[in-house]
């Protein structure tokens, strides 16, 4: 497993002094980026081969959110390649070695010009070491929307929303979803299903719904769409109980 060590920063915490869900996602995303860069198959390598990875789905399960100043170790590894698809696990450990959060993710490799599926190069397949997938309850990637959803704010994509692929970064969508909900609450599980990319100047409309969860907490769903109703991403947030 590839890992990097860090310390929870004040800027990454909420009003309770705990790491935010959005910051946790950033840790996981940064970890996979560091992994690829250190293997020599990062951003520059992908650009030379005219391909890029796009996230298809996230599932993040949180046991607890570390507090400000805590030292943590974030790790990741791929566990399967299938055609243009790559499957990757993540985890965050506290100083005692306890797993405070884990995640599953699915990525697709696309050709920059045609936007059609690409294939990992032999060098990529050689450098990425596949490991056994983490023990966790794996959820399906498809998110079913509640029947009753209401429209909330619309957001225009600004330069700070973009990543090196010139589309909205995965973490920015989660921040938009949390803003659309208008409230903060402890999340035990996040699921995100990505459909299409948003670019500079696009208008993202948010639609919010809610249902009861199996463990008694609420499950809130945010659908981020373009002005014609086409979905950019559906995000499901399950409330943490206790």
* Same domain, yes or no: 59 and 103: yes
Question: What pTM was computed for the model?
Answer: 0.93
Same domain, 215 and 160: yes
Check which CATH number belongs to the domain holding 84 and give it: 3.10.129.10
Residues 188 and 235 in one domain: yes
Q: Tens digits of per-residue pLDDT, 32-64?
A: 999 999 999 999 999 999 999 999 999 999 999
Mean local confidence (pLDDT), 72-85 = 96
CA–CA distance from 53 to each of 27, 212, 215 (Å)? 17, 34, 35
The last residue of one of the domains, among 127, 157, 174, is 127
The pLDDT assigned to 165 comes to: 80
Pick from 79, 97, 206: nearest CA to 149: 206
Q: Pick the last residue of a domain from 92, 127, 162.
A: 127
Q: Which domain holds residue 110?
A: 2-127
Residue 188 domain-assigned (yes or no): yes
Q: What is the DSSP letter of 142?
A: -
Q: How does pLDDT run across 178-214, given as a tens digit for each residue?
A: 889 888 888 999 999 999 999 999 999 999 998 876 6
| Least confident stretch, 66-75, 127-136, 207-216 | 207-216
In terms of domains, do 110 and 192 share one? no
Is 50 among the domain residues? yes
How many CB atoms within 10 Å of residue 238? 22
Same domain, 70 and 159: no
CA-to-CA distance for 76 and 130, rounded, in angstroms?
Answer: 11
Could you tell me if residue 52 is inside a domain?
A: yes
Look up residue 136 and give its DSSP letter: S
Residue 86 lies in a domain: yes
The rounded mean pLDDT for the chain is 93
> Are 101 and 204 found together in one domain?
no
Residue 143 lies in a domain: no
Assess whether 86 and 8 both reside in one domain. yes
- 115 & 204 share domain: no
Q: Does residue 212 form part of some domain?
A: yes
Query: Is the pLDDT assigned to residue 160 strictly greater than 70?
Result: yes
How many domains in the chain?
A: 2
Going by pLDDT thresholds of 50, 70 and 90, the confidence category of residue 215 is low
Q: Which residue has the higher pLDDT, 110 or 217?
A: 110
pLDDT per residue as tens digits for the range 82-115: 999 999 999 999 999 999 999 999 999 999 888 8
Pair (6, 122) in one structural domain: yes
Q: In which order are the strands placed within the sheet that holds 231-239? A: 2-7, 71-82, 85-93, 99-111, 51-62, 187-194, 231-239, 218-225, 203-212, 149-156
Indicate if 117 and 162 belong to the same structural domain.
no
Same domain, 122 and 154: no
Name the percent of the chain lying above pLDDT 70: 98
Residues 188 and 111 in one domain: no
């Amino acid at each position: 497993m590839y890992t990097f060590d860090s310390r929870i920063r004040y800027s990454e915490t909420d009003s309770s002094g705990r790491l935010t869900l959005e910051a946790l996602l950033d840790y996981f995303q940064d970890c996979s980026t560091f992994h690829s860069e250190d293997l020599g198959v990062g951003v520059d390598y992908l650009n030379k081969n005219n391909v890029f990875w796009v996230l298809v789905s996230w599932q993040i399960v949180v046991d607890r959110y570390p507090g400000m100043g805590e030292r943590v170790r974030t790790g990741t590894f791929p566990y399967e390649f299938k055609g243009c698809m790559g499957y990757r696990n993540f985890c965050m450990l506290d100083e005692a070695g306890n797993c405070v959060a884990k995640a599953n993710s699915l990525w697709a490799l696309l050709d920059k010009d045609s936007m059609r599926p690409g294939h990992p190069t032999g060098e990529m397949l050689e450098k990425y070491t596949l490991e056994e997938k983490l023990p966790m309850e794996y959820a399906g990637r498809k998110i079913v929307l509640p029947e009753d959803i209401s429209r909330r704010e619309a957001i225009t994509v600004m330069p700070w929303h973009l990543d090196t692929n010139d589309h909205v970064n995965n973490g920015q969508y989660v921040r938009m979803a949390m803003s659309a909900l208008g409230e903060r609450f402890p999340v035990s599980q996040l699921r995100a299903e990505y459909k299409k990319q948003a670019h500079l100047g696009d208008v993202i409309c948010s639609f919010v719904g809610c249902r009861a969860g199996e463990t008694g907490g609420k499950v809130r769903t945010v659908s981020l769409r373009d002005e014609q109703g086409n979905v950019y991403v559906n995000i499901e947030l399950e409330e943490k109980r206790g």
